[in-house]
Amino acid sequence: MSEDARYRLVLAGLAMLVAVLFTLSLTVGPAAIAFSDSLAGLLSDDRGAIALIMREIRLPRAILGLMIGATLGLSGAVLQGYLRNPLAEPGLLGISASASLGAVLAIYIGLSAALPLGLPLAALSGAVLAVLVIQALAGIRGGTLTIILAGVAVSSFAGAMTSLALNLSPNPFAALEIVFWMLGSLTDRSMAHVWLSGPFMLVGWAMLGCLGRPLDMLTLGADAAQSMGVGMRRMQFLAVIGTAASVGAATAVAGAIGFVGLVVPHILRPLVGALPSRLLPASALGGAAMLLAADVLVRLVAPGKDLKLGVLTAIVGAPFFLWLVWKTRRTML
Which part of the chain contacts other proteins (CB under 8 A), choosing from 12-20, 66-74, 150-158, 267-275? 267-275
Contacts of 242 (CB under 8 A, 6+ apart): 75, 78, 203, 204, 205, 206, 207, 208, 211
In Å, how far are 88, 166, 241 from 225, measured between CA atoms? 20, 45, 21
| Closer of 44 and 219 to other proteins (Cβ) | 219
DSSP string, 81-123: HHTT-TT--GGGGTHHHHHHHHHHHHHHHTHHHHSTTHHHHHH
213 binds other proteins (CB under 8 A): yes
Largest pairwise CA distance in the chain: 63
Gap between the Cα atoms of 58 and 36, Å rounded: 15
CA distance 217 to 222: 8
Q: Of 189, 175, 156, 174, whose CA–CA distance to 255 is shortest?
A: 189
Site string for other proteins, 13-32 (x = CB under 8 A): ----------------xxx-
Q: How many whole angstroms separate alpha carbon 186 and alpha carbon 200? A: 18
Select from 71-79, 198-206, 211-219, 242-250 the region that touches other proteins (CB under 8 A): 211-219
Q: Are 275 and 333 in contact (CB under 8 A)?
A: no
Contact 260, 291 (CB under 8 A): yes
163 forms part of the interface with other proteins (CB under 8 A): no
Site string for other proteins, 42-71 (x = CB under 8 A): -------x--xx--xxx-------------
Q: C-beta of 22: minimal distance to other proteins in Å? A: 18
Point out which span in 94-102, 176-184, 238-246, 312-320 binds other proteins (CB under 8 A): 176-184
Q: Does 304 bind other proteins (CB under 8 A)?
A: yes
Cα–Cα nearest to 183, from 254, 250, 126: 254
Interaction between residue 263 and other proteins (CB under 8 A): no
In the complex, minimum distance from the CB of residue 276 to other proteins, in angstroms, rounded to a whole number: 7
Check binding of 192 to other proteins (CB under 8 A): yes
Nearer to other proteins, 19 or 210 (CB): 210
The residue (of 146 and 187) whose beta carbon lies closer to other proteins is 187
3 lies in the binding site for other proteins (CB under 8 A): yes
Residue choice 34, 145, 228, 325 for contact with other proteins (CB under 8 A): 228
Residue of 59, 275, 316, 318 that binds other proteins (CB under 8 A): 275
Of the candidate residues 132, 145, 176, 301, the single one contacting other proteins (CB under 8 A) = 176
Residues in contact with 55: Cβ distance below 8 Å, sequence separation at least 6, in sequence order: 41, 42, 191
Residues 6 or more apart whose CB falls under 8 angstroms from that of 127 comprise 95, 98, 99, 102, 244, 245, 247, 248, 249, 251, 252
Stretch that binds other proteins, among 12-20, 125-133, 290-298, 301-309 (CB under 8 A): 301-309
Please report, as ranges, the residues that interact with other proteins according to CB under 8 A.
Answer: 3, 29-31, 49, 52-53, 56-58, 84, 112-113, 116, 119, 170-174, 176-177, 180, 187-190, 192, 210, 213, 216-221, 223-224, 226-231, 269, 273-276, 303-306, 333
